[in-house]
Amino acid sequence: MGRYCVTVTCEARRGIVAVISGYLAGKDCNIRDSSQFDDVESNRFFMRTSFLAEANTSLEELQRDFAPIAAQYGMTATFHDENERLNVVIMVSRFGHCLNDLLYRTRIGALPINIVAVISNHLDFQKLVVNHDIPFHYIRVTRENKPEAEAQQLAIIRDSGAQLVVLARYMQVLSDEMCQALSGRTINIHHSFLPSFKGAHPYHQAHARGVKLIGATAHYVTAELDEGPIIEQDIIRVSHNQSPEDYVTLGRDVESQVLARAIHAHAHRRVFLNGRSTVVFPASPGSFASSRNG
């Protein structure tokens, strides 16, 4: 039996859920989990339905035969194979905690991804990456060579078949052209609970202001620096008797967890863009287990 999901966005209107569930039932598909959301402000409808194709109906047939229904309701609807692992390129600079975490989670099957390449503007993690049998690409980036460097990066991303790019503390601002080329498929981890304390040394800014909570934010990359649609956030409580270095240590743990959860949500097609915001459906029961077994 094929294990698939269908993601749907369209204008909110009556009868959409019934139409989708009726179509799947008619194709001998058994719905395992379904989430939906009507945004009253944008009048948009979002739905993700996971199902088993008990008659071994192919993904191509499901997509093809649903096309007339999608056209009738003005839907953007895509069928996905839940066993498919997403090809990912990771970009990193000199902070390796997120990279290490993603390498480990991928190795044990906690993330449904294949890391097909790592790109860095430093050589610090070359040995680590090569020891995981993953191609490592060192591309030095300066103000003078940035267009050429980004062209090299985009070529690697294209040739590797990457479906997602992850900025795992990659400390370079992407050009508007690169942001547009990777629109909707690049996730950044920001070492702050946006929108507060942007820029350099956010933990030191937080310490100087005496904050009691610090956090991290994973968001899609756009040309507006650190303003992309937010996918995942988390916080941790701190106190006056901790140093900025303590904040950094605690913050790195939060960053790693938030980034992993954002990638997990994206890989399982649980994230929907909604203007400058996102709709993120909760993980279905067994999704982490299915990642390990998929």
Give me the tens of pLDDT residue by residue for the chain, a chain 294 residues long. 899 999 999 999 999 999 999 999 999 999 999 999 999 989 999 999 999 999 999 999 999 999 999 999 999 999 999 999 999 999 999 999 999 999 999 999 999 999 999 999 999 999 999 999 999 999 999 999 999 999 999 999 999 999 999 999 999 999 999 999 999 999 999 887 765 666 778 778 776 666 677 889 999 999 887 778 889 999 999 888 999 899 899 999 999 999 999 999 999 999 999 988 899 999 876 555 444 443
Q: 226 an active-site residue?
A: yes
Tokens, residue 145: 């060579």
CA distance 261 to 245: 25
One-letter amino acid of 37: F
Catalytic residue among 33, 39, 124, 226: 226
Give the model's pLDDT for residue 194. Answer: 60
Q: Are 219 and 190 in contact (CB under 8 A)?
A: yes
Residue 182 parent element (H or E): none
- Residue 74 CA to residue 217 CA, distance in Å, equals 33
The one-letter amino acid at 272: F
Residue 174 main-chain phi, psi, to 5 deg: -75, 145
User: What is this structure's pTM?
Assistant: 0.90
For residue 145, the number of C-alpha atoms closer than 13 Å in the C-beta half-sphere is 8
Q: Which amino acid is at 136?
A: F
Residue-level pLDDT at 234: 94
**pLDDT at residue 292, as a whole number:** 45
Domains in the chain with CATH codes: 2-83 (3.30.70.260), 86-280 (3.40.50.170)
SS3 228: coil
Helices 59-73, 16-26: axis angle to 10 degrees equals: 150
What pLDDT, on the 0 to 100 scale, is given for residue 114? Answer: 98
Rounded-to-integer distance, Cα 92 and Cα 123, Å: 10
| Per-residue model confidence (pLDDT) at position 291 | 46
Q: How far is CA 110 from CA 256, 287, 292, in A?
A: 13, 9, 5
